[in-house]
Amino acid sequence: MISNVSSLSANQLALLATTFSAFLVDACTEFVVGSEDDTVVVGRTMDIFGNLGSRLVTHPKDASMGSILSDGSMGMEWAVRNPFVGIDAFGLPITTDGLNTLGLACSVLMLGESVYQRIPAEADARAQSINQLNFCDWALSNFDNVSQVNQSLHNGEVIVTLISVADFKNSLPSVSRILAVSDVVDIPSDIPLTSHYSLHDKDGSSLVIEYTAAGFKTYDNTIGVMTNDPTYDYQEKTLKEYLSLRNPNPVPVFDSLKPRDHPVVTTSQGLDVNMAGLPGDLSPNSRFLRTAVNLNTLIYPTTAELAVDAAKHIINAIEMFAGSVYQDPIKFGDTPDELWVTEWATIRDITNGVYSFRTYTNSEWKHIDLDDLDFTKGAPSVSVAVDIPDQRFDAVSMMST
């Protein structure tokens, strides 16, 4: 494969590199775990090359929000009705993953084939427009549950338009430009980060929202999994090809047929042979399939604590480590900006209002109870870098006490 790539012309190489850069910016997996005590837990990975410079940010009640459009004008402006906490990216006022105080969760996951609505010329319509990176900010701050968001979308109460990171950054007032994109991640900042969206609430409803050339569509996410390209309906159809997979090990069915003088070895070669054929690569389709099968075979948790534990293990099964995927299809480097990793992961107990996260450099889970945060009107928005340095565990001192 490498020799075939190296034989391409300079123009072909440039086109290939551009194609990879445009679509392989972000790869994420999200899933839902329930429990017998009716807890709803949502797990999610943020897989990317480079460093997003993400921060955990609080958005108190009545805080001012707005969405900048690609022509530099201001689109929709509103005040936070439902306070929420979320993780941003690029130092920009965008929420890639969040949870509000009423138990509505929203995530942004990349979808390369997204096609958004045009910026309207009419002033009234512009006032209803947001860019695609602010979708979760709009949803979390305005709505109580999935049904309300779905109804608002189908009523045409919001117009979702496209903006690149560069246009977003350059359109912000200088006082709001917290961090230049070029200081965070080594990707062309004019890349439009096209996405689809995943919503969940404490009633157990899940919704996928996509804007493509086929138009605006929503899907009830009955599988409880979402990744990236292709679109959700295609992923759902592909899953049907793996309905025969089962988790019990096979029994030695040939025992009654083997000759007495020539016994046949009928034991399996190891555990989980009935899962043979399940894709193990890190492509979006394979991550979707593997996560869906893992959820299907999971012993249903009885408590919220066990549901959170299950989410942690499912995340472990799909996370990326340095070297598992290279961003540059031509040059195989070894610096962080050329390698894909699971930069951070989150677990949202949306029933009990607990937001948890960990990072690639610190695998210890940090838990935040939303009830402990100051979301009152007039409270300041607080942010903290999610990439908290790992701390040395002094086992000697602990064991000597």
Q: What is the DSSP string of 94-121?
A: EEEEEEETTSEEEEEEE-TTB--PPPPS
- Residue 318: band (very low, low, confident or very high) from pLDDT cuts 50, 70, 90: very high
345: number of CA atoms within 13 Å, CB side? 29
Tell me if 208 sits within 8 A of 221, measured CB to CB.
Answer: yes
User: Could you give the percent of the chain with pLDDT greater than 70?
Assistant: 74
Tell which residue, 158, 142, 151, has the closest CA to residue 100.
Answer: 142
User: Can you tell me the mean pLDDT for 233-241?
Assistant: 89
Helices 232-239 and 284-297 meet at what angle, rounded to 10?
A: 50
Residue tagged 């042979």 (tokens): 273
- The rounded distance, in Å, linking the Cα atoms of 201 and 237 is 25
For residue 45, the model assigns a pLDDT of: 97
- For 164-218, give the DSSP string: -HHHHHHHS-GGG--S-GGGT--S-TT----EEEEEEETTS-EEEEEEETTEEEE
User: Can you tell me the mean pLDDT for 160-175?
Assistant: 79
- Residue 80: band (very low, low, confident or very high) from pLDDT cuts 50, 70, 90: very high
- The rounded distance, in Å, linking the Cα atoms of 340 and 28 is 11
User: Can you tell me the mean pLDDT for 123-146?
Assistant: 97
For residue 153, the model assigns a pLDDT of: 98
SS3 category, 15? helix
- The rounded distance, in Å, linking the Cα atoms of 272 and 167 is 49
pLDDT-wise least confident of 77-86, 139-148, 201-210, 382-391: 382-391
pTM of the full structure: 0.83
Task: Say which residues have a Cβ less than 8 Å from residue 383's Cβ, sequence separation at least 6.
Answer: 55, 56, 57, 58, 88
Pick the residue with more confidence: 176 or 73? 73
- Beta pairing, strands 206-212 & 215-220: antiparallel
- The rounded distance, in Å, linking the Cα atoms of 288 and 65 is 33
pLDDT above 80 for 309: yes
- Residue 286: band (very low, low, confident or very high) from pLDDT cuts 50, 70, 90: confident
User: Can you tell me the mean pLDDT for 83-112?
Assistant: 95
User: Could you give the percent of the chain with pLDDT greater than 90?
Assistant: 58
Tell me if 93 sits within 8 A of 74, measured CB to CB.
Answer: no
Task: Say which residues have a Cβ less than 8 Å from residue 199's Cβ, sequence separation at least 6.
Answer: 104, 105, 106, 107, 139, 146, 149, 205, 206, 207, 208, 209
Residue tagged 């000759």 (tokens): 259
For residue 179, the model assigns a pLDDT of: 39
User: Can you tell me the mean pLDDT for 188-212?
Assistant: 89
Q: Where are the domains of the chain?
A: 25-388
pLDDT-wise least confident of 131-135, 145-149, 187-191, 234-238: 187-191
- Residue 68: band (very low, low, confident or very high) from pLDDT cuts 50, 70, 90: very high
For residue 167, the model assigns a pLDDT of: 84
Rg of the chain, C-alpha, whole Å: 23
User: Can you tell me the mean pLDDT for 194-206?
Assistant: 97
For residue 15, the model assigns a pLDDT of: 31
Tell me if 33 sits within 8 A of 311, measured CB to CB.
Answer: yes
- Residue 338: band (very low, low, confident or very high) from pLDDT cuts 50, 70, 90: low
CATH number for the domain whose boundaries are 25-388: 3.60.60.10
Task: Say which residues have a Cβ less than 8 Å from residue 151's Cβ, sequence separation at least 6.
Answer: none
